[in-house]
């Protein structure tokens, strides 16, 4: 089984947490002050993100940094 990159782990976690909180991509993008397309790229793991964006996403989802970086099965 392929080991996930950190970018892939973050992407998977953002999407799973967003869905579990019943938040649309549009709503999370609004909360993070980014475009919906940018957020979509992040969730697909095709966009390299900065620490500033990570901070916005953590605040937008109201989660800890540990939740964002957690390796889930």
Residues of the chain with pLDDT under 70: 73
The count of structural domains within the chain is 1
Task: Give the orientation angle of helix 51-61 with respect to helix 6-20, to 10 degrees.
Answer: 20
- The pLDDT score that the predictor gives to residue 31 is 97
Find the CATH number of the domain harbouring 48.
1.10.260.40
The boundaries of the domain holding residue 57 are 6-69
- The pLDDT score that the predictor gives to residue 73 is 63
1 within a domain of the structure (yes/no): no
- The pLDDT score that the predictor gives to residue 72 is 74
25 within a domain of the structure (yes/no): yes
Helix (H) or strand (E) holding 55: helix 51-61
Check: pTM over 0.85? Answer yes or no: yes
């Amino acid at each position: 089984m392929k080991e996930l990159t950190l970018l892939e782990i973050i992407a998977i976690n953002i999407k799973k947490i967003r869905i579990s909180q019943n938040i649309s991509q549009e709503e999370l993008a609004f909360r993070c002050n980014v475009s919906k397309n940018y957020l979509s790229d992040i969730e697909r793991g095709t966009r390299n993100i900065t620490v500033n964006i990570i901070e916005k996403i953590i605040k937008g989802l109201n989660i800890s940094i540990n939740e964002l970086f957690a390796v889930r099965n």
